[in-house]
Amino acid sequence: MKLAEESFLTDDFLRQLINVGEVDILVGLPTHNNAKTIGSIVHTIQSGLLRGFPRERSVIVNVDGGSRDGTPELVTGVSIDDVRPSSNPYALRTLHSISTRYASSPASGIALRTILAAAELLRAKACVMLSPESANIEPEWLSKLLRPIYDDGFDLVTPTYRRHKFEGLLITNLLYPMIRAFYGLRIREAYSPEFGFSGHLGSQFLGQNVWNDGTEGSGVELRFTLAAITGRYLICQSFLGEKDHIERSAADLVPVLRQTVGTLFTALEADFPVWSAVAGSQPPPTTGADHEVLLEPLRVNRKRLREMFSTGVAELESVFQSILSSSTLTELQRIARLGEEEFHYPAELWVRTVYEFAASYRKSVISRDHIVQALAPLFRGRVCTFLLENRNASADQVEDNIEALCLEFERLKPYLLQLWKSGE
Amino acid sequence: MREMIISELSQAVHEMARGFAHFLPRLVVTLILAFGGWVIAYVVKAVLRSILRLIKFDKLSENAGASQLLTNAALPSATEMLSRFVFWVTWLGFILLGVHVLGILGLQEQIARFFLFLPRLFVAMFILFVGLLAASFFSRAALLAAVNANVPSPRVLSLALRTIIIVFVLSIVFEELGLAEQTMLVAFGIAFGALMLGLAIAFGMGGRDLAKRFLEKRFVRGKKAENEDELSPL
């Protein structure tokens, strides 16, 4: 046992871990006020473990961020007997459920750190992180995320989902293309609350200096994926099925940008030796489809998006002058004046915008948090164009458009390299 | 009589010559101090300029909004301004020291006051710089938050915040310098009170619709289909 990990785990949690002993499979379940759904999720997990890993020693580790609705008690109180008869009555191994409260408010970084420390102490071979907010977790998800690790020696399994063509637009318009261009691996969901990992990768990441940067581990799941790529661990994808939509309010975009884009821009700084040497990209091994697109009609207020873009470009001119080149800013100001139908934020301009933001972030031309916030109205403009381009598009056409954007990110990569070097 | 006049005159000339003989070395010392002070001030200026360039002080002052003020006033960069300021303060210090050596009565007290004033001047300048930095940071934070929350007239909000902080900082600076303390205090009180009253009236008169929209958005369901944030970014 490492003292470093012990120091932030409570005595009670350590006692629980000692009682569990060694395990083969660990299921990490971070929670915060999930009493309504947690019971069925734990049943699903138990069912998945009994079906997929009946003879393995397993534990569900719940780390709670200060729930006031009794979520931890519900996790530890769910009896495995409810699911045992219907799945495998002859399971020989016991399944433990333990719980700890790490803080009075949720912080995904601390939750993951606690789970990684628990996995290391329990010498878990294969681990999986699940989110209680994913309402449609299926028992099969456990096998899909754990089998490649447990049987095939992979270190990280990221999910792929069936999504509506207009969902996950930050992923399709920025995270996926940029990670693909810079890290050379076409990982669809680099930032996901569900993923599987080996105990070895977990231990390595636990020892990295990412936990004490004052961000409480914001966006740590993305850092985890990027660390696996740069550490040359074996990575694959597994198709899980439909991802249930989580409702988000307008206020959610900026925190999400902080967690994802801020984390990615920070990682680019440390990973410069890696990404500057990467050319092209390769798809990772994938079980099942690497994407599936739903096409149901969805009513979206494009006008409002365009207005927020135009307002942002006009009002934030002084901020953009510090971040963007004059040619990019002039072009943005031109398209901000276009009407709703002729509005078009081209892929090339979007990529240049993102790259100039990344370079300015690295140079800290203004507060880094302000740089990330300033991207929000521009992202809305890009979303508006994406919606226009794909409003009548088939699944293949949507994929073609995303692929074209990815290639644009790859094509213009030397531009960021040039900006990067000019700041040295 | 004639002899007396000649004696007085020669005595006066002697005294003048003796006084000049006493004064001349002091004058030479003064000139040496002035020249030596110029050399030292020049070296200090050159060293400070290099240090400021090394730590990218211009970038910092740009972030603080000070560079913009200087450019608008057709003044040199912040690094150049600060270097020149330190040069003149250093040289002036040496000149005043030289004047002190001359022993001119009445001036000495003023010179002593000047040297006592210097630390306060530096503190005031530091407060001004940090205040401008804070005003720039918080006004930009307000601007970004207002734009992203789709609040009307974000620039007005940002400018109001910036003005409040700058007025507040200026009142502290003047207090530190000991200049027009009462006037500044009253001026700040009036400006701040007027601003708050203005905001209260503006909120009461013009904010009804805004408050209504906010409450509708917060509590009335059913219009969500028109909201782009139905689209999860992740």
Residues of A in contact with B232 (CB under 8 A): 167-168, 245-248
User: Hey, of B71, B227, B228, which one would you mutate to test binding to chain A, going by the most A CBs within 10 A of its CB?
Assistant: B228
Residue at A212: amino acid letter? N
d(CA A83, CA A101): 26
Length of chain B: 234
Q: Which fold has domain B115-219?
A: Helix Hairpins (1.10.287)
Q: What are the backbone angles phi and psi of residue A160, rounded to the nearest 5°?
A: -125, 150
How confident is the model over A209-226, as pLDDT tens digits?
A: 777 765 566 788 999 999
State percent of chain A over pLDDT 70.
92
Query: Do A175 and A264 form a contact (C-beta atoms < 8 A)?
Result: yes
Query: Do A150 and A235 form a contact (C-beta atoms < 8 A)?
Result: no
Query: Do A120 and A202 form a contact (C-beta atoms < 8 A)?
Result: yes
The predicted model gives B106-116 an average pLDDT of 79
- What distances in angstroms separate CA A296 from CA A93, A168, A210, A349, A385, one per listed residue? 44, 15, 41, 29, 19
Residues of B in contact with A366 (CB under 8 A): 63, 140
Tokens standing for residue B151: 């609040």
Q: Which pLDDT score, from 0 to 100, does residue B82 have?
A: 87
Strand partners, A58: A25, A95
Q: Which pLDDT score, from 0 to 100, does residue A382 have?
A: 95
Burial (CB count <10 Å: 0-12, 13-18, 19+), residue A26 = buried
Question: What residues of A are in the B interface, CB distance below 8 Å?
Answer: 166-171, 191, 245-254, 256-257, 260, 298-302, 304-305, 308, 311-312, 315-316, 319, 322, 365-367, 370, 373-374, 376-377, 379-380, 383
d(CA A104, CA B108): 65
Higher pLDDT residue, A366 or A375? A375
Q: Is the pLDDT of residue A150 over 60?
A: yes
Domain ranges of chain A: 3-294, 302-422
B207 pLDDT band, cuts 50/70/90, is low
Q: Is the pLDDT of residue B184 over 60?
A: yes
Contacts of B141 (CB under 8 A, 6+ apart): A367, A370
Q: Which pLDDT score, from 0 to 100, does residue B228 have?
A: 47
| Minimum distance, in Å, between the CA of residue A115 and any CA atom of chain B | 23
Domain ranges of chain B: 1-104, 115-219
Q: Is the pLDDT of residue B230 over 90?
A: no
Q: Which pLDDT score, from 0 to 100, does residue A246 have?
A: 54
Give the β-pairing of A156-164 and A195-198.
Answer: antiparallel
Higher pLDDT residue, A340 or A268? A268
Q: Give the DSSP H/E element, type plus range, for residue A379.
A: helix A368-390
Tokens standing for residue B215: 């409450």
Q: Which fold has domain A3-294?
A: Spore Coat Polysaccharide Biosynthesis Protein SpsA; Chain A (3.90.550)
Partner A contacted by B156 (CB < 8 A): no
State the complex-level ipTM: 0.85
Residue at A361: amino acid letter? Y
Average pLDDT for chain A: 88
Query: Do B149 and A251 form a contact (C-beta atoms < 8 A)?
Result: yes
d(CA B120, CA B117): 5
Higher pLDDT residue, B77 or A424? B77
Region of residue A89 (left: phi > 0; alpha: psi -120 to 50; beta: else): alpha
Among B51, B59, B115, B120, smallest CA distance to B83 is for: B51
Give the β-pairing of A235-242 and A195-198.
Answer: unpaired
Q: How many CA atoms lie within 13 A of A318 on its CB side?
A: 17
How confident is the model over B14-62, as pLDDT tens digits?
A: 888 888 888 888 889 889 999 999 999 999 999 999 998 888 888 777 7
